[in-house]
Amino acid sequence: MACKIGSFVMGIAATNCYYLYDEEQKEALVFDPPCNGEIIHKRLSEKGLSVCAILITHGHFDHISGIDGLKKTSGAPVYAPAKEKELLCDPTLNLSDEGVCVSADHSVIDGEELSLGGFHLRVISTPGHTSGGCCYYFPDEKILISGDTLFAQSVGRTDLPTGSMSTLIESIKEKLMVLEDDVTVYPGHGESTTIGEERKYNPFL
Mean pLDDT to the nearest integer, 139-166: 98
pLDDT at 194 over 80: yes
What is the pLDDT confidence band of residue 1, given thresholds at 50, 70 and 90? low
Q: Give 136's strand partners.
A: 123, 145
Instruction: Say what the pLDDT of residue 57 is.
Output: 98
pLDDT at 202 over 70: yes
Q: What angle do CA 1, 186, 98 make, to 5 degrees?
A: 115
What is the pLDDT confidence band of residue 166, given thresholds at 50, 70 and 90? very high
Q: What separation in angstroms does the CA of 137 have from each of 22, 38, 75, 141?
A: 16, 26, 24, 9
Which residues contact residue 46 at a Cβ distance below 8 angstroms, ignoring those fewer than 6 apart? none
Q: pLDDT, tens digit, for every residue of 68-116?
A: 999 999 999 999 999 999 999 999 999 999 899 999 999 999 999 999 9
- Whole-number percent of the chain with pLDDT over 90: 96
pLDDT at 5 over 90: yes
Q: pLDDT, tens digit, for every residue of 36-64?
A: 999 999 999 999 999 999 999 999 999 99
Instruction: Say what the pLDDT of residue 147 is.
Output: 98
Residue 26's φ and ψ, nearest 5 degrees, are 65, 25
Domain boundaries, the chain: 3-201
pLDDT at 2 over 90: no
- State the virtual CA torsion across 110, 158, 55, 180 in degrees, nearest 10: -60
- Please give the Cα distance from 97 to 200 (Å, whole number): 39
Average pLDDT, the chain: 97
Instruction: Say what the pLDDT of residue 164 is.
Output: 98
Beta strand extents in 35-191 (DSSP E only): 50-55, 78-81, 106-108, 113-116, 119-125, 134-138, 143-147, 150-151, 154-155, 184-187
CATH superfamily of 3-201: Ribonuclease Z/Hydroxyacylglutathione hydrolase-like (3.60.15.10)
What is the pLDDT confidence band of residue 152, given thresholds at 50, 70 and 90? very high
Q: DSSP 3-state assignment of 199? A: helix
- Please give the Cα distance from 205 to 169 (Å, whole number): 7
- Please give the Cα distance from 77 to 198 (Å, whole number): 33
Q: What angle do CA 159, 153, 127 make, to 5 degrees?
A: 40
